[in-house]
Amino acid sequence: MSPSSNGRKGSLKSLFEDDNHNNNGEVRVVSKHVMNYNMMMQLSQNKAGAGGGAVGSGSGGGAAAAGGNGVDGMKKKKADKDAFERAVIDISCYNESPRQVFNTLRSVAKKLLKDDERYRTLDTTNPKVEERLLGYEGVIDFLLLLGFDSDAMGQRLVCKEKPDQEVIRTAIRVLDSHENRLKAAVHMDSAMLASGVQSSARNLSVVERPVSNSINANNADDNESDDMTLQQIVLLCTHEQQRDNETMETLIMCYKEFSTAEKLIKELKRRFFMVIPNEIREDEKKLEDFKEKTMKPIQLNVVKNLRNWMKLYWEEDFANDEKVAQVLESWIKQMQMDSKQFSWNGLLADAVQNEYKRYKKHGSKPRIQEKDYWSVEIPKRFNFHSLSPDELADQITLMDFRIFSRIKPRECMGQAWKKKENRVNSPHILQMIQQFNNLTTFVQIQILREKSLKDRGRAVKRIIKMGEHFRLARNFNSLCAVFSALNSAAVHRLKLAWEKVPEKQKQQFEQFKIIFSRDFNHRNLRQLFRNAAAPSIPHIGIFLQDLVFIDDGHENTKEVENLGGRKMVNFSKSQRMADRIKNIQMYQQHPYTDVQESDVVQRILLEEFSKLKEITEDQIWDMSTEVKRADERDKARIF
């Protein structure tokens, strides 16, 4: 009888269970000082011992450096900015006081602009450095990107050469951008706490009532709590001096967590039809100034965001919602009526109406004819098992990217992939998880199906080579699946087969272990991905773990005593969620254009993977048990 199957297969769940517990289930508490010391020592060890690039360094990351990034210099420069963005996003998502960390990092970066070597060394034993920087998620990675690296003793971070000034300025701009967003979120909260929506709206020179009485009924408040907070957010992110589109993009992406499409479009419409203040109606100069400098910028901003919303989410939010369509149609009609008084309204009405008609007829997304791989004929003499590890890894990477690139932002919201309607609301995340599990099982079967001990050793060697190609191609999802399969009990216990594996491949497998170490919240894997140039595929398990962390750790709404206990939107949660999703979206835009797709191999892989869905962990374990006995018999015959 085989032991319990729990933990045998390197599943997506088991690989990322929290390991900050001892065997008795008690949480291990590690002091910040000890954690920082271990972190610095790990950096210095990686620097000295992982020359093969298992863990990325501040100069660009092992995988990217070893494998080539496949992009030109312009994309490299952009990737540097993206790497800073990813580090700053981690600081924002995982720390309670990110603005304090931003201020300290900004100070460090600005001092690097000076010709003074004193500012290029950070003593990690200094209490101020420890308190203000170390121990915060994302900080070490940010410093590595600036050019700092650990000394041999792991006690100092040293920037041996003065970094390029453009790199430093890029880092400062990224910090400034994210701090401004945090300030906006704080401003929202403080405005709501201080005086509620109505008074804060007046402070912004905004009146919620429409221009003409004909649409008062359409814009009447529903007297619900999220109406009020939704209104507050719309007011602030469409202010006439607002130049940051990210806040509205976040709102459009995340609003369903706390509101509805009908309420959002009503608030945008309310914002568009603002009232001219009574005190300037009789002053022609002030009136014209208000129209040009306040009303027009706000209305242009609102319509721009409306059109962007329609373009991105027509099928989800507009196509089948009659109430939303009614509000939109009345909005267009009112803009046309007001065009005599406000000339630009006619142009805006025409633009919105044209897109509305086009989307109603054709939808907002171009219809792409998907390739039918199942209809591809397989040549009789085609030998799938003769493919080299690199060729097989390339074709699996194309499969992975095809699924990864289709993940929609809202599939990631509210842990949709774990809920009842997950096949409808989060189909591509489920496919990505299934792809991971399929590849894990596929690798196990490839090893266990071999008939002899010698062939099994060769199979392990081939799989490690395939994993190394995934690493060089920056396909961290499939690399993790390979590692998970090789590290599973069913394969790892085949000691005799592992003895047949050449030393080079054994060393590569040890590098995989370093990459997927769980220490410090999978720091090595995170750092490797941050430093990876596009194209790249993240490990879906880490991504989903981060989303769950944000979702479970922050409520969608929170009660405010100053407003009678009414619930206000926790918009900072939406910003954190959107930051994490946008981080992944950057990689969805860059396919593996240098890899030639084989329709025949794609068809065979689909067929092979479809067979694996029914294989259980118990069956894998039973196969492993038989193989282990056969290997022992083979060894006995040899001697």
For range 211-222, the mean pLDDT: 36
Find out whether 61 and 532 touch, Cβ atoms under 8 Å: yes
Domains of the chain: 31-175 (1.20.58.2190), 204-362 (1.20.870.10), 386-638 (1.10.840.10)
**Amino acid letter at 127?**
P
In this structure, of 52-66, 415-429, 606-620, the range with the lowest mean pLDDT score is: 52-66
Between 33 and 95, whose confidence is greater? 95
**Which H or E run contains 132?**
helix 127-132
Residue 315 has pLDDT above 90, yes or no: yes
Whole-angstrom distance, CA of residue 6 vs CA of residue 287: 72
Between 479 and 521, whose confidence is greater? 479
Distances (CA, A) of 313 to 264, 316, 355, 502: 13, 5, 13, 53
For range 584-608, the mean pLDDT: 94
Helix (H, G, I), strand (E, B) or coil at 149: strand
Taking Cα atoms as reference points, which of 181, 113, 144, 132 lies closest to residue 44? 144
SS3 assignment for 509-553: HHHHHHHCCCHHHHHHHHHHHHCCCCCCECCHHHHHHHHHHHHHH
Between 94 and 234, whose confidence is greater? 234
Find out whether 436 and 481 touch, Cβ atoms under 8 Å: yes
pLDDT of residue 229: 73
Measured torsion, CA atoms of residues 576, 149, 531, 547, in degrees rounded to the nearest 10: -30
Between 226 and 125, whose confidence is greater? 125
Largest CA distance in the chain: 107
Query: Which range has highest mean pLDDT (134-138, 228-232, 402-406)?
Result: 402-406
For range 214-232, the mean pLDDT: 47
Whole-angstrom distance, CA of residue 140 vs CA of residue 207: 46
Between 61 and 174, whose confidence is greater? 174
pLDDT of residue 269: 95
pLDDT of residue 244: 67
pLDDT of residue 74: 33
Q: pLDDT of 275-310, one tens digit each?
A: 888 888 888 888 888 988 889 999 999 999 999 999
Query: Which range has highest mean pLDDT (130-139, 409-418, 552-561, 568-577)?
Result: 409-418
Q: Tell me the H-state helices in 204-274.
A: 225-237, 246-254, 261-272
Whole-angstrom distance, CA of residue 528 vs CA of residue 525: 5
pLDDT of residue 184: 61
Cα R_g (the chain), whole angstroms: 28
Measured torsion, CA atoms of residues 222, 227, 232, 237, in degrees rounded to the nearest 10: -110
For range 57-76, the mean pLDDT: 36
For range 319-340, the mean pLDDT: 94
pLDDT of residue 95: 67
Find out whether 162 and 61 touch, Cβ atoms under 8 Å: no
pLDDT of residue 568: 82
Whole-angstrom distance, CA of residue 97 vs CA of residue 131: 12
Each residue of 506-517: b (16+ CB within 10 Å) or e?
Answer: eebbebbebbbb
For range 13-42, the mean pLDDT: 40
Q: In this structure, what token pair is assigned to residue 251?
A: 């709102």
Q: In this structure, what token pair is assigned to residue 284?
A: 């022609």
Between 502 and 564, whose confidence is greater? 502
Whole-angstrom distance, CA of residue 476 vs CA of residue 487: 16
What does the angle CA 386 – CA 453 – CA 607 come to, to the nearest 5 degrees? 40
Instruction: Calculate the average pLDDT of the chain.
Output: 79
pLDDT of residue 316: 93
Query: In the 8-state DSSP scheme, what is residue 27?
Result: B
Between 2 and 516, whose confidence is greater? 516
Q: Who contacts 141 (Cβ-Cβ below 8 Å, separation ≥6)?
A: 86, 87, 90, 526, 527, 530
User: What string of DSSP letters covers 348-412?
Assistant: HHHHHHHHHHHHHHH-SS-------GGGPPPPTT--GGGS-HHHHHHHHHHHHHHHHTT--GGGG
Q: 561: pLDDT confidence band, cut at 50, 70 and 90?
A: low
**Which H or E run contains 308?**
helix 296-313
Residue 92 has pLDDT above 80, yes or no: no
CB-based burial label for 630 (10 Å; 0-12, 13-18, 19+):
middle
Whole-angstrom distance, CA of residue 248 vs CA of residue 234: 8
Q: pLDDT of 101-156, one tens digit each?
A: 888 899 899 988 888 888 888 887 788 887 778 767 778 888 888 888 877 666 78
Q: Tokens 């694996």 correspond to what residue? A: 612
Whole-angstrom distance, CA of residue 307 vs CA of residue 358: 12
Residue 220 has pLDDT above 80, yes or no: no
Query: In the 8-state DSSP scheme, what is residue 567?
Result: E
Q: pLDDT of 357-376, one tens digit each?
A: 999 998 888 777 788 999 99
Backbone angles phi, psi at 460, to 5 degrees: -60, -40
CB-based burial label for 71 (10 Å; 0-12, 13-18, 19+):
middle
DSSP-assigned beta bridge partners for residue 21: 27
Each residue of 75-111: b (16+ CB within 10 Å) or e?
Answer: eeeebbebbbbbbbbbbbbbbeebbebbebbeebbee
Whole-angstrom distance, CA of residue 448 vs CA of residue 303: 60
For range 416-433, the mean pLDDT: 93
In this structure, of 149-153, 369-373, 450-454, 506-510, the range with the lowest mean pLDDT score is: 149-153
In this structure, of 22-31, 87-96, 500-509, 574-583, the range with the lowest mean pLDDT score is: 22-31
Residue 255 has pLDDT above 90, yes or no: yes
